[in-house]
Amino acid sequence: MMEQSNHLKFAPLEDVQAKMVEIPYKGKALSMVVLLPNEVDGLQQLEDKLTAEKLMEWTSLQNMNMTDVNLHLPKFIMEDSYNLKSKLIDMGMEKAFHPQDADFSSMSRDRDLVVSIVMHKAFVKVNEEGAEAAAITGSMGSITSATIYEDFNCDHPFLFIIKQNDNNTILFFGRVSSP
């Protein structure tokens, strides 16, 4: 379990009985947003009400405030691979996959060059070093100041998003069902 106490963007999501924290990555170009239902069995309700519009509203500067957060995030690894050939063909790239039609003459002198497969691999890893990779600085261990921290304990199912901050593009979206 990654444990951090830090000053992070936080928002209660009263309309879906959940809360949200944003964890900046190194350089602050990317962030991980964690959506945690208030109840252990509340993930389905959160997923049912989640829309692109709601997500934009929830992560807006007007909704999220810098708050002292005591964050407990489990270690997890998610990875998946996707064959994009059929999607690219559907988008109009048919010729690139057919030996008689492919034309990569501007890239190579080899006339027999053809694309056979396009794979995309997504990988997300959170562990104790995740605090360092996410460029979160803060004290580990007990809190000795009089500051009141918002407790954010991901000990039950939650959603996470990794987004590009300058344009709010979602790069990864996932669910942790068994933390």
- Give the model confidence (pLDDT) of 114-166 as tens digits: 888 888 777 777 776 653 333 332 323 333 445 678 889 999 999 999 888 88
Task: Indicate whether 171 pLDDT > 80.
Answer: yes
Give SS3 for 29: coil
Domains identified in the chain and CATH numbers: 2-75+127-176 (2.30.39.10), 78-126 (no CATH)
Beta-bridge partners for 33: 22, 161
Q: What is the pTM of this model?
A: 0.74
User: What is the rounded average pLDDT of the residues 73-89?
Assistant: 82
Distance in angstroms (rounded) separating the CA atoms of residues 86 and 94: 9
- Give the model confidence (pLDDT) of 36-68 as tens digits: 999 999 999 999 999 989 988 888 878 889 999
Task: Answer whether 108's CB lies under 8 Å from 47's CB.
Answer: no
Residues 6+ positions from 5 with CB-CB distance below 8 Å:
68, 69, 70, 71, 138, 139, 140, 143, 149
